[in-house]
Chains A and B, each alone.
Chain A
């Protein structure tokens, strides 16, 4: 059974940092692009970032460029999202997704507030 389990969300003050993790199982993690998608409360889906199988290519939505960094560790079947300089507008449920959007985690809530 495929599982994507996110962790690391929580409450953080504006300007702070958080690191999200996504643990994958049930498929060959190292063979697939992985992504992060977020959804602000009551709003639509927003693609955040993608990372290639070997980590050699990464893409970001304009609003997080220079602040967020996507990475992966194929030995640990995990991907990460390092989020710095957080803003109120980054408040959202963050989903880990992979295998061309086939599999999704249940999401982890990030709240940026003072």
Chain B
């Protein structure tokens, strides 16, 4: 099965902007992989932020956005807040099977 790769860690200043990426070992990530993005804080279950590349749930803060960028899925956080410090995972679909990314630890500092 495919390997989905994310940056291990990123640091952003409060109010700053950071972009997380999600790449696939099988080639370019496309809308056909239906990229999802999840946020997970310690001791909690994951929470979906973005689905199908760029769609937001009602609970997704407006400062989060999803896109495709340079053959990868991307999650951009604009105007980071202290409460955004968390682990972020992408998820890609491969014809019925799914693979989570390796995860990115985002620090707001």
Distance in angstroms between the alpha carbons of A62 and B94 in the assembled complex: 13
Query: A95's contact among B36, B46, B97, by CB below 8 Å, is which?
Result: B46
Determine if B70 is an interface residue (Cβ-Cβ < 8 Å): no
What residues of chain A lie closer than 8 Å to B87, measured between beta carbons? Answer: 44
Query: Are A106 and B48 within 8 A (Cβ)?
Result: no
Cβ of B102 within 8 Å of any chain A Cβ, yes or no, is: yes
For the side of the interface on A, what is the size category? 20 to 34
The answer to whether B100 and A101 touch across the interface, beta carbons within 8 angstroms, is no
Contact between chains at B45 and A45 (CB < 8 Å) = no
- Assess whether A105 is in contact with B89, with CB atoms less than 8 Å apart: no
A-B contacts besides A101-B36, A101-B91, 16 pairs, CB < 8 Å: A44-B103, A45-B103, A46-B100, A47-B91, A47-B98, A47-B99, A47-B100, A59-B96, A59-B98, A61-B1, A61-B97, A101-B38, A101-B51, A102-B51, A104-B47, A105-B45
Give 9 closest A-B pairs by Cβ, nearest first.
A47-B98, A104-B45, A44-B103, A45-B100, A59-B96, A59-B97, A101-B48, A45-B89, A62-B1
30 contacts between A and B (CB under 8 A): A35-B98, A37-B100, A44-B101, A44-B102, A44-B103, A45-B40, A45-B46, A45-B89, A45-B91, A45-B100, A45-B103, A47-B100, A50-B97, A50-B98, A57-B96, A59-B96, A59-B97, A60-B97, A61-B1, A95-B46, A100-B51, A101-B36, A101-B51, A101-B91, A102-B51, A102-B57, A104-B45, A104-B46, A104-B47, A105-B45
